Amino acid sequence: MPERIETPIIIINFKTYVEATAKNAVELARKAERVNRETGVAIGVAPQLTDLAAVVAAVDIPVLAQHIDSIKPGGYTGHVLAQSVKETGAVGTLINHSERQLKLSDIDQIIGIVHENGMLSIVCANNPSTSTAVATLKPDMIAIEPPELIGTGIPVSKAQPEVITGTIDLVREVNKKVIILCGAGISHGEDVAAALKLGTQGVLVASGIVKAKDPYVIIHEFADAMRVKR
């Protein structure tokens, strides 16, 4: 795993929001970097592929891709090569996000390719059983997305603790070391605090920050909540 990744961590997924595309991606990453400098809390950003190099050049926080393909260099027009991501200076990638779900054998292969390239693998999983399955594949991080939080809009701080701890317990049965992020139900600082208190080592967030009126304020709120808990 790349040395520069610390926990607890806030990872911001830029998705394909226009508020986080091109110049906006660089600006948003700078806000994340500013909070990192002010609070010391680890923050990573996952912009689109076209923006990776510019974001890496602009900030000194970990930059991640949102997806890579299970390919080696060769004739794969329109696919995402791990090496091309690594060359931008990005340090890892999201894998199997619920908006970009993959075949099991591809998740397995991509984790291998990412590690061969010295990068960080963060695999998303949509429920307790797939989280456990993913944990056996030994990624660096898992982002768990409890269906109770996605389906209902209930924030982590208001949810039954078992929603989070149940998945953590299952994951820990098969993998003691994997870093576990909470990938759903994070709207406010208190959710971040609750997620850490329940045993995760960070959060994966998107629209809550990207679509916020003032993303800097929200990132700062999240980081403050995380700082208290360290």
Beta carbon nearer to its own copies, 14 or 222: 14
Site string for its own copies, 50-89 (x = CB under 8 A): xxxxx-----------xx---x-xxxxxxxxx-xxx-xx-
Answer for which of 36, 130, 167, 187 binds its own copies (CB under 8 A) is 130
For residue 27, state whether it binds its own copies (rule: CB under 8 A): no
| 3-state SS, residue 166 | helix
| Contact indicator for 46, 66 with CB cutoff of 8 Å | yes
Smallest gap from residue 79 Cβ to its own copies (A): 6
| Region of 3-11, 34-42, 114-122, 132-140 interacting with its own copies (CB under 8 A) | 132-140
Pick the catalytic residue from 97, 116, 220, 221. Answer: 97
| Contact indicator for 184, 146 with CB cutoff of 8 Å | yes
**Helical packing angle, 128-135 and 161-174, nearest 10°:** 30
**Whole-angstrom distance, CA of residue 24 vs CA of residue 47:** 10
| Region of 97-105, 151-159, 160-168, 192-200 interacting with its own copies (CB under 8 A) | 97-105
- Whether 173 is a known active-site residue: answer no
For residue 15, state whether it binds its own copies (rule: CB under 8 A): yes
| Contact indicator for 171, 123 with CB cutoff of 8 Å | no
Plot region of 227 (φ>0 → left; ψ -120 to 50 → alpha; else → beta): alpha
**Whole-angstrom distance, CA of residue 167 vs CA of residue 178:** 13
Residue 201 is classified by DSSP as S
| Contact indicator for 66, 93 with CB cutoff of 8 Å | yes
- Whether 188 is a known active-site residue: answer no
Beta-carbon-side half-sphere exposure of residue 51 (alpha carbons within 13 Å): 27
Smallest gap from residue 200 Cβ to its own copies (A): 20
| Region of 37-45, 124-132, 157-165, 222-230 interacting with its own copies (CB under 8 A) | 124-132
Pick the catalytic residue from 145, 148, 162, 190. Answer: 145
Catalytic residues: 97, 145
Residues in contact with its own copies by the rule CB under 8 A: 13, 15-18, 21-23, 48-54, 66-67, 71, 73-81, 83-85, 87-88, 94, 96-105, 107-108, 125-127, 129-130, 132-138, 173-174, 206-207
